[in-house]
């Protein structure tokens, strides 16, 4: 069984390639060509948990599982908050074929999933990007977004202003203008694309701030008890999800808005994979607000990990 390190992941699968791999995986998911039981979270202690994410793909014919420790305070120790491994199996004969370092795959595939949604749903001439959050996901969402749209102005906000400043400094060379701002509202005003990538359990993005034409990727809240946007924000846009089953069970923003009567079940227009292959209309006009709710699915991990395995094996 091949063991694959984070360095090999980043080298073998650059973000531009990962975007295409994840997009193809989501098309397969939306056409029933994947087996995706719901993710399970096992609490540990001190607010830590283990995510257990099994899945199977038909093409490539593999199955496997991501086992990922979620340790929100890890960045204070200089470590990723996501620590784990993806085990890949050959579905033809059941053999384990690889153990792939998972924080790198998680970082890459999540940013890739958002960037693919931005490519499909944002206005093509989008040039102002707002990122709420300045952690590991934000670090990867910036280059992923620069790969799909001509952003020349980036605003970053996070809970701790000095972290936003540090983000702007470490990425300064990547775009014409990258600056830290002191409020989320300031970041969002006039932006073309907004990414929320925080560990906040409560709304940090308000619907009343959203402007015609904006595209929003909701990335951070991965469990039913967390949310990053308020009810008005959920209701404000054409709302797409990675998987219907996942969103109906675990998309905190949508579930809260549903409970409050701000939206009905019909508000979820469908899965992003159907937007990618043109079977579901995405943006209808330049004034639409579009929203992609990313919960993250094992199909993205398996597809990305398998592509890394294929490349490092020289196949
Ligand atoms: P990091 O720990 O690296 O960064 C977390 C960020 O969230 C920091 O900018 C932090 O602010 C901010 N933050 C934390 N708590 C709060 C709060 N209460 N209010 C406002 N901001 C807050 O985490 P990652 O970047 O790795 O992950 C970010 C989120 O994305 C997590 O919730 C994670 O579970 C989720 N995620 C989603 C995936 C998906 O597929 N959709 C995949 C992987 C992760 P600061 O430190 O500046 O104070």
Is there a single domain that holds both residue 123 and residue 28? no
Given a contact cutoff of 8 angstroms between Cβ atoms, the answer to whether 184 and 157 are in contact is: yes
Looking at the structure, tell me whether residues 93 and 231 fall in a common domain. Answer: no
Structurally, the chain folds into a number of domains equal to 2
- Taking residues 176-200, report their average pLDDT: 97
- Same domain as 192, residue 308: no
Q: Which residues contact 171 (CB under 8 A, 6 or more apart)?
A: 139, 142, 154, 178
pLDDT at 176 over 90: no
Is residue 140 domain-shared with residue 262, that is, in the same domain?
yes
Closest C-alpha residue for ligand 1 atom 1: 135
199 C-alpha to ligand 1 centroid (Å): 3
Question: Are 221 and 304 in a shared domain?
Answer: no
Atom of ligand 1 nearest to the CA of 164: 47
pLDDT band at residue 315 under the 50/70/90 scheme: confident
For ligand 1, atom 18: residue with the closest CA = 200
Residues with CB under 6 A from ligand 1: 72, 75, 81-82, 106, 110, 133-138, 158-160, 163, 197-200, 204, 219-220, 222, 294-296
- 136 shares its domain with 276: yes
- Mapped onto helix, strand or coil, the DSSP state of residue 212 is coil
How far is the C-alpha of 86 from the C-alpha of 100, rounded, in Å? Answer: 5
pTM over 0.85? The answer is yes
Q: Give the whole-number percent of the chain exceeding pLDDT 70.
A: 100
CA of 134 to the centre of ligand 1 (A): 8
Residues 180 and 157 sit within 8 Å (Cβ to Cβ)? yes
Residues 7 and 134 in one domain: no
- CA–CA separation, 114 and 242 (whole Å): 10
Question: What's the CATH code of the domain at 244?
Answer: 3.40.50.720
Give, using CA atoms, the residue closest to atom 19 of ligand 1. 200
Of ligand 1's listed atoms, the one at least distance from the Cα of 70 is 34
The CATH number of the domain holding residue 26 is 3.30.1780.10
Do 253 and 308 share a domain, yes or no?
no
100 and 180, same structural domain? Answer: no
pLDDT tens-digit series, residues 92-125: 999 999 999 999 999 999 999 999 999 999 999 9
Angle at which helices 136-146 and 15-30 pack, to 10 degrees? 90
User: Are 213 and 173 part of one and the same domain?
Assistant: yes
Confidence band, pLDDT 50/70/90 cuts, at residue 91: very high
Range of the domain at 76: 2-106+299-313
User: Is a pLDDT exceeding 80 seen at residue 26?
Assistant: yes
């Amino acid at each position: 069984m091949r063991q694959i390190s984070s360095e090999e992941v980043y080298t073998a699968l650059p973000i531009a390639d990962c975007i295409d791999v994840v997009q193809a995986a989501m098309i397969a998911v939306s056409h029933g060509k994947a087996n995706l039981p719901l993710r399970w979270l096992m609490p540990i202690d001190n607010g830590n948990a283990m995510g257990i994410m099994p899945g199977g793909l038909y093409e490539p014919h593999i199955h496997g599982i991501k086992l990922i420790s979620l340790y929100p305070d890890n960045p204070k120790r200089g470590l990723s908050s996501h620590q784990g491994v993806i085990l890949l199996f050959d579905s033809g004969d059941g053999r384990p074929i690889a153990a792939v370092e998972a924080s790198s795959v998680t970082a890459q595939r999540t940013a890739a999933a958002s960037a693919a949604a931005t490519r499909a749903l944002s206005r093509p001439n989008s040039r102002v990007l707002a990122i709420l959050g300045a952690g590991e996901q934000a670090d990867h969402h910036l280059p992923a977004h620069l790969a799909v749209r001509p952003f020349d102005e980036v605003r970053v906000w996070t809970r701790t202003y000095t972290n936003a400043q540090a983000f702007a400094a470490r990425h300064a060379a990547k775009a014409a203008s990258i600056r830290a701002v002191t409020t989320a509202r300031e970041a969002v005003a006039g932006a073309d694309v907004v990414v929320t990538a925080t560990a906040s359990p409560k709304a940090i993005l308000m619907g009343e701030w959203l402007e015609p034409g904006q595209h929003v990727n909701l990335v951070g809240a991965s469990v039913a008890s967390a949310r990053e946007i308020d009810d008005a924000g959920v209701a404000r846009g054409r709302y797409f999800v990675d998987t219907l089953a996942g969103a109906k069970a675990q998309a905190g923003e949508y579930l809260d808005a549903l409970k409050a009567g701000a939206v009905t079940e019909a508000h979820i227009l469908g899965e992003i994979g159907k937007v990618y292959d043109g079977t579901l209309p995405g943006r209808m006009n330049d004034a639409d607000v579009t929203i992609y709710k990313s919960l993250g699915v094992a199909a993205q991990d398996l597809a990305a990990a398998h592509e890394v395995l294929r490349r490092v094996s020289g196949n």
